[in-house]
């Protein structure tokens, strides 16, 4: 069974004057363990809503979201809190998603406290230090605050916070969109290395087609809350079947030449233009 299974998922929001806005309109998909699914589409196509439905930050109107065999729409809030450690999210704006009043050590420790059973303070601190090291931040960062970090460092903290509970699935919602081009490549390399080392499964939401081409094993294209097409990333992006996808790719920035897939860290440099 796939690690992530969505079946006929619908999500609406109240619109103006008593209308209803359909953000996700009957989406079904499955993601195998260890894969990276890229979700691309124009702004407003439903990508972020889909990402939030995956972690039950929103409830579905209908349909089912099954993660690792668990239908998460049937879990109580308490059960969901218990499971949350397995399924995490990294947001687009690192600074906005980090509590400015807390130190980096406290921010990364927080999910361990919420989850409840990660030992005493010393054990948690050790785990926080080890996780920060995995994203390339030495222990000196423990007592700093988000405002004293660069954008790339802030996003590494966001990744460490998602990683600290040892999840199997991470939803990455435009994790590099707010970063400078040179920093983007280093953050993508960290994410790629972690996926391989930990066997993580990613859902990578992005409007940046070139990054998805390098970073993801598979891709789905969304338009107005629906799937246009999907499949292996190189197949879909090199030979789109649907006119919508061809137009979307034509409207994207001209591609930067690249030499390989995400397994080759240098390929990620070419995404950003970093040397
Ligand atoms: P994307 O991530 O592709 O830009 P979103 O998932 O953010 O798209 O939005 C899909 C649609 O749902 C948009 O029309 C958006 O305005 C609407 N939408 C998203 N979140 C909300 C919300 N919390 N309340 C009302 N409408 C929303």
CB-count exposure of residue 245 (10 Å: 0-12, 13-18, 19+): buried
Most confident of 9-13, 52-56, 97-101: 9-13
Where are the chain's structural domains? 4-272
Is the beta carbon of 20 within 6 A of some atom in ligand 1? no
Nearest-atom index, ligand 1, CA of 50: 6
| Contacts of residue 192, Cβ cutoff 8 Å, sequence gap at least 6 | 215, 262, 263, 265, 268
Nearest CA to ligand 1 atom 11: 23
Cβ contacts of 79-82, under 8 Å, gap ≥ 24 = 80/56, 81/114, 81/115, 82/115, 82/116
Nearest CA to ligand 1 atom 27: 13
Per-residue pLDDT, 272: 43
Q: Alpha-carbon distance 257 to 273, whole Å?
A: 9
Residue 204 has pLDDT above 50, yes or no: yes
Per-residue pLDDT, 269: 52
Nearest-atom index, ligand 1, CA of 225: 10
Is the beta carbon of 47 within 6 A of some atom in ligand 1? yes
Copy the structure tokens of residue 193: 């290395």
Nearest CA to ligand 1 atom 17: 23
- Residue of 214, 223, 209 lying closest to 254 (CA atoms): 209
Per-residue pLDDT, 236: 95
User: Could you tell me the CA-to-CA distances from 74 to 26, 43, 56, 157, 234 in Å, in that order?
Assistant: 19, 30, 11, 31, 36
Contact 266, 241 (CB under 8 A): no
Per-residue pLDDT, 224: 96
Per-residue pLDDT, 267: 52
Nearest CA to ligand 1 atom 21: 13
Q: Alpha-carbon distance 259 to 120, whole Å?
A: 47
Per-residue pLDDT, 74: 87
Q: What is the pLDDT confidence band of residue 96, given thresholds at 50, 70 and 90?
A: confident
CA of 44 to the centre of ligand 1 (A): 6
Q: Alpha-carbon distance 157 to 135, whole Å?
A: 8
Per-residue pLDDT, 97: 87
Residue 263 has pLDDT above 50, yes or no: no
SS3 labels along 99-158: CCCCCHHHHHHHHHHHHCCCCCHHHHHHHHHHHHHHCCCCHHHHHCCHHHCCHHHHHHHH
> With pLDDT > 70 as the criterion, what percentage of the chain qualifies?
91
Copy the structure tokens of residue 153: 């460092």
Helix pair angle (151-163, 181-198), 10° resolution: 20
Q: Which residue has the higher pLDDT, 218 or 77?
A: 218
Per-residue pLDDT, 273: 37
For a ligand 1 pocket test, name from 11, 13, 47, 227 the mutation site with the most ligand atoms within 8 angstroms of its C-beta. 13
Q: Which residue has the higher pLDDT, 191 or 260?
A: 191
Residue 249 has pLDDT above 90, yes or no: no
CA of 43 to the centre of ligand 1 (A): 9
> What is the rounded average pLDDT of the residues 96-104?
93
Contact 12, 225 (CB under 8 A): no
CA of 130 to the centre of ligand 1 (A): 36
pLDDT digits (tens, 9 = 90+) for 124-139: 999 999 999 999 999 9
Contact 6, 64 (CB under 8 A): yes
Nearest-atom index, ligand 1, CA of 207: 3
Query: Any idea which fold 4-272 has?
Result: Rossmann fold (3.40.50)
Nearest CA to ligand 1 atom 16: 44
pLDDT digits (tens, 9 = 90+) for 24-54: 999 999 999 999 999 999 999 999 999 999 9
Q: Strand, helix or coil at 205?
A: strand
Is the beta carbon of 206 within 6 A of some atom in ligand 1? no
Question: ipTM for the complex?
Answer: 0.98
Which of left, alpha, beta for 34 (phi over 0: left; psi -120 to 50: alpha)?
left
Contact 40, 248 (CB under 8 A): yes
Mean pLDDT for the chain overall: 89
Nearest-atom index, ligand 1, CA of 51: 6
Residue 110 has pLDDT above 50, yes or no: yes
pLDDT digits (tens, 9 = 90+) for 205-237: 998 898 999 899 999 999 999 999 999 999 999
pLDDT digits (tens, 9 = 90+) for 146-187: 999 999 999 999 999 999 999 999 999 998 888 888 888 888
């Amino acid at each position: 069974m796939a690690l992530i299974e969505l079946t006929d998922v619908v999500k609406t929001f109240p619109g103006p004057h008593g209308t209803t806005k359909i953000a996700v309109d009957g989406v079904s998909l499955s993601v195998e363990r260890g894969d990276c699914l890229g979700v691309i589409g124009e702004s407003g196509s439903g990508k972020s809503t889909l990402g939030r439905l995956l972690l039950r930050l929103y409830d579905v109107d209908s349909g089912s979201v099954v993660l690792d065999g668990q239908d998460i729409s049937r879990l109580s809030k308490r059960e969901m809190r218990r499971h949350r450690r397995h399924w995490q999210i990294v947001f687009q704006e690192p600074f906005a998603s980090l509590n400015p009043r807390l130190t980096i050590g406290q921010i990364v420790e927080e999910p361990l406290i919420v989850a409840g059973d990660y030992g005493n303070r010393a054990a948690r601190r050790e785990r926080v230090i080890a996780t920060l090291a995995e994203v390339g931040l030495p222990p000196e960062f423990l007592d700093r605050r988000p405002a004293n970090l660069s954008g790339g460092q802030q996003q590494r903290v966001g990744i460490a916070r998602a990683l600290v509970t040892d999840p199997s699935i991470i939803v990455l919602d435009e994790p590099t969109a707010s970063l400078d081009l040179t920093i983007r490549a280093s953050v993508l390399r960290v994410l790629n290395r972690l996926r391989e080392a930990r066997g993580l499964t990613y859902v990578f939401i992005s409007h940046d087609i070139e990054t998805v081409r390098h970073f993801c094993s598979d891709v789905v294209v969304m338009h107005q809350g629906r799937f246009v097409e999907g499949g292996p990333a190189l197949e879909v992006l090199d030979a789109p079947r649907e006119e919508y996808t061809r137009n979307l790719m034509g409207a994207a920035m001209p591609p930067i030449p690249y030499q390989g897939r995400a397994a080759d860290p240098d390929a990620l440099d070419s995404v950003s233009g970093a040397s």
